[in-house]
Amino acid sequence: MCADASGRPRALVAHPSAELYGSDRVALESVSALVEQGWHVTVALSGEGPLVPVLEGTGADVVIVDVPVLRKSLMSPTGVVRFAVENVRRGVPMRRLLARLRPDLVYVSTVTVPAWLPLARSVGAKVLVHVHEAEESLPRPVRLGLAAPLLLAHGVVANSEVSRQIVVRDLPALSARTRVVYNGVPGPATVSPSRDELTDPVRLVLVGRVSPRKGTDVAVEALGLLRARGTDARLTLVGGVFPGYEWFEEQVRARVAELGLADHVEWTGVLPDVWKALDAADVALVPSRVEPFGNAAVEAMLARRPVVAGNTQGLREIVTPGVNGELAEPGDAVSLAEAVLRVVDDWPGAVGRAAKAEQAALARFAPSRYREEIAAEASALVTGLEAGRTTGVGVMTASTQAGSPRETYAQTLHRLRSAQKPPAKGSPAYSRFVNRKIGRFLAAGAYQLGLTPNHVTFISAAFSAAALALIALVRPTPLIAVGVTLALLVGYAFDSADGQLARLRGGGSPAGEWLDHVVDAFKTSALHLSVLIGWYRFYRVDERLLLVPVGFALIGAVFFFVQILTDQLRRAHPGQAPAAADSSTAAVVRSLIVLPTDYGLLCGVFLALAWQGVFVVLYGLLFAGTTLFVMAALPKWYREVARFRR
């Protein structure tokens, strides 16, 4: 371990927020757990806020690091490019911090700051990721993109069973290293009993950010329904608006005015202590549409207040209707109002159930239990790896399996160079001299991380798919052009890396080769069809020019198929196939001659995507060059395979 001067193990806790909402308080509990167990803890936050002095009060060091945070507003092709560029730009100071601290463990408190994972692995730290998200409504490719960085983690902690299920369902390889640790939620110093009799008005409270996810609008609508049915009720909203959702707060305020509820709704904003607000309330509302856990529901129980929650995700693991609260359908104001009326109509029973719920919550969600489990997870990763356990990434390296010291990156790279097969005959220049070498570095890194060739193939596909989406769906700008080019080139580099990784691991598999060819076949045609869509939507071109990407898709598919089939026939007739060319001058010259067919060169042309005239000309020239080459090569390839004997 990289212990400090006092011999204590070091941990870097990466957290994106400095507020005091649910996930921030959970991060605080995690820091406290490590400090109590003797760790030297440094917390990296993305900005200043009320969490900073509280963290420092635990004995942890706090540093401010400008880290890109993945928000829903970035869930678009343009946003993905912007997020990727920001990660590259800000990765340098993040890497410097890690190199200076040399932590034994990097604890990443959320999947919304994925850059920490590869950077932590690059300095040899063990990585523990805490998943607080359960975005099951997102399309599966987006969920996969969010979860994919978890493959770099040695251990994953999920805050609820539903969070774990979503992660494992999308990435089964994470099953063995993902476990559920329910949040530890501190209770109030003292608890005030509920009112014996529920005299008017009924005091409702909602603690949480003002956002669609938390159902602020649903609570307001339910209040209107309750008052319309003759129940004198008031609603207190405790919490600030989530950055970027100011429009939602304005919308809710307008709805409050429209319903005539201005005198019956109180907006407190962010409070340093939620217990006074809960103490002043009769019923706590947690009408979330999406809620992986639900700290607010637990806090209501600890305050001994009846709770009405949304029947969704993690809240279903906390609240059992008729036992420790009530559930209402998420997003349904009528259902929420009816659940509140059930509590009001059976007030003595609701108060009794709330008292029992408090006792159960004190045990089930005790901070001491949480701290013990988190500290155990952290210690097991560090001491367990040193004791020779599995690497935690689902695959053990050959050297680890043999019981010898782990192979370094430099040693892996040297071994790969030695085992590298000669370049294919007539490989185009970029593929031969650039992409192959980049793929070698990526393959060595993937091997160190314990990734499989299929993992690398999926990474390649993800970058390529992002580029295709940008081309087809987003109006081209210089930034988009750079993003498309980088995504295509990175995808191409990973495409080269999967086969090299297979050689490092002792050979590939037919299934892996099949998957690689399927992805390549899709990419070959989809790229040009994306260009077709992009030209039709954003360019002003003669309709006849739309035949160019159509023709390029056709010739590209034929070229890819013929290459694959010819190679398979050569393998089936080894004694009759021509010998592979070495790196002679003739082979180098030939690689330059076939440059128009080079996929890497095609990727580079997309730098001109924002300039219609330039891109159309360059793309058209590559189409013409590829077509001429294929037309000239087809007779030659036919004569070659015609000589093969059965």
pLDDT (tens digit per residue) in 311-322 = 999 999 999 999
* Cα gap 244→247, rounded to integer Å: 8
Q: Is the pLDDT of residue 106 over 50?
A: yes
445/473: higher pLDDT: 473
Confidence of residue 40 (pLDDT cuts 50, 70, 90): very high
Helix, coil or strand: residue 320: coil
pLDDT of residue 87: 76
For residue 558, being part of any structural domain is answered with yes
**The pLDDT of residue 67 is above 70:** yes
pLDDT of residue 403: 33
Confidence of residue 69 (pLDDT cuts 50, 70, 90): confident
pLDDT of 132: 87
Q: Examine the domain organization and report whether 359 and 313 are in the same domain.
A: yes
**Count of the separate structural domains present in the chain:** 3
Q: Are residues 143 and 271 in the same domain?
A: no
Going from the C-alpha of 415 to that of each of 95, 129, 483, the distances in angstroms are 27, 31, 33
Cβ-proximal residues to 635 (8 Å cutoff; 6+ apart), any chain: none
**504 within 8 A of 446, measured Cβ to Cβ:** no
Residue that has been written with the tokens 């167990």 in this structure: 37
- pLDDT band at residue 377 using 50, 70 and 90 as cut-offs: very high
Question: Residues 95, 226: one domain?
Answer: no
| Residue 398 falls inside a structural domain | no
The per-residue pLDDT for 399 is 32
- Residue 395 in any domain: the answer is no
Nearest Cα residue to 112 out of 97, 131, 127: 131
Rounded mean pLDDT, 244-260: 94
312-361 residue pLDDT tens: 999 999 999 999 999 999 999 999 999 999 999 999 999 999 999 999 99
CA angle 197, 203, 204 (to 5 degrees): 130
**82 domain-assigned:** yes
Q: Model confidence at 243, in pLDDT bands (50, 70, 90)? A: confident
Torsion on CA atoms 505, 509, 511, 517, rounded to nearest 10: 80
- d(CA 285, CA 387) in angstroms, rounded, equals 48
> Is residue 394 scored above 50 in pLDDT?
no
The residue among 320, 355, 386 that closes a domain is 386
Instruction: Please check whether residues 493 and 542 belong to one and the same domain.
Output: yes
| Same domain flag for 332 and 456 | no
H helices of 17-133, in order, are 22-36, 51-57, 77-101, 116-122
How many degrees, rounded to 5, is the angle at CA 408 between CA 403 and CA 409? 140
Residue 389: its pLDDT value, please? 34
Same domain, 358 and 426: no
List CB contacts of 586: < 8 A, sequence separation 6 or more: none
Q: What is the pLDDT of residue 639?
A: 87
* Per-residue confidence (pLDDT) for residue 449, from 0 to 100: 67
User: In the predicted model, is pLDDT for residue 305 greater than 80?
Assistant: yes
Q: What is the DSSP string of 503-529?
A: HHTT---HHHHHHHHHHHHHHHHHHHH
Instruction: Report the pLDDT value the prediction gives residue 590, as an integer from 0 to 100.
Output: 66
Q: Which pLDDT score, from 0 to 100, does residue 471 have? A: 93
Residue 99 has pLDDT above 70, yes or no: yes
In a domain, 285, yes or no: yes
Is the predicted pLDDT of residue 577 greater than 60, yes or no?
no
Give the model's confidence band at 641: pLDDT under 50 very low, under 70 low, under 90 confident, else very high: confident
Max mean pLDDT range (79-83, 171-175, 550-554, 571-575): 550-554
Give the domain CATH number at 593: 1.20.120.1760
Q: What is the mean pLDDT of residues 377-395?
A: 57
DSSP state of 151: G
**Which range among 125-139, 284-298, 363-377, 514-528 shows the weakest confidence by mean pLDDT?**
125-139
Average pLDDT, the chain: 86
Give the burial class of 531: count Cβ atoms within 10 A of its Cβ; 0-12 exposed, 13-18 middle, 19 or more buried. Answer: buried
Whether residue 118 is found in the same domain as residue 211 = no
Cα gap 183→179, rounded to integer Å: 13
For residues 508 and 222, the model is more confident at 222
Q: What is the pLDDT of residue 404?
A: 36
| 8 Å CB contact between 280 and 203 | yes
Q: What is the CATH number of the domain that holds 102?
A: 3.40.50.2000
Whether residues 147 and 163 fall in one domain:
yes
Residue 146: per-residue pLDDT: 76
The answer to whether residues 454 and 490 belong to one domain is yes
CB-CB contact of 597 with 427 (8 Å): no
Half-sphere exposure (CA, 13 Å, Cβ side) for 241? 13
Evaluate whether residue 5 is within a structural domain: no
Q: Is residue 404 in a domain?
A: no
* Best CA proximity match to 39, nearest among 65, 2, 73, 74: 2
Confidence check: pLDDT of 391 > 50: no
What tokens were used for 608? Answer: 């001109």
Outline where 387-477 has alpha helix (H): 398-401, 409-419, 429-430, 436-449, 453-473
Question: What's the confidence (pLDDT) of residue 390?
Answer: 35
Q: What pLDDT, on a 0 to 100 scale, did the predictor assign at position 312?
A: 94
Q: Look up the pTM and report it.
A: 0.66
The phi-psi region of residue 208 (left if phi > 0; otherwise alpha if psi is between -120 and 50; otherwise beta) is left
Residues 136 and 250 in one domain: no
Residue 196 has pLDDT above 80, yes or no: yes
CA nearest 606: which of 466, 495, 427, 434? 466
Q: Is 77 in contact with 466 (CB distance < 8 Å)?
A: yes
Q: How far apart are CA 588 and CA 615, in angstroms?
A: 28
Domain range for 443 is: 409-642
The confidence band for 401, taking pLDDT boundaries of 50, 70 and 90, is very low
pLDDT of residue 308: 97
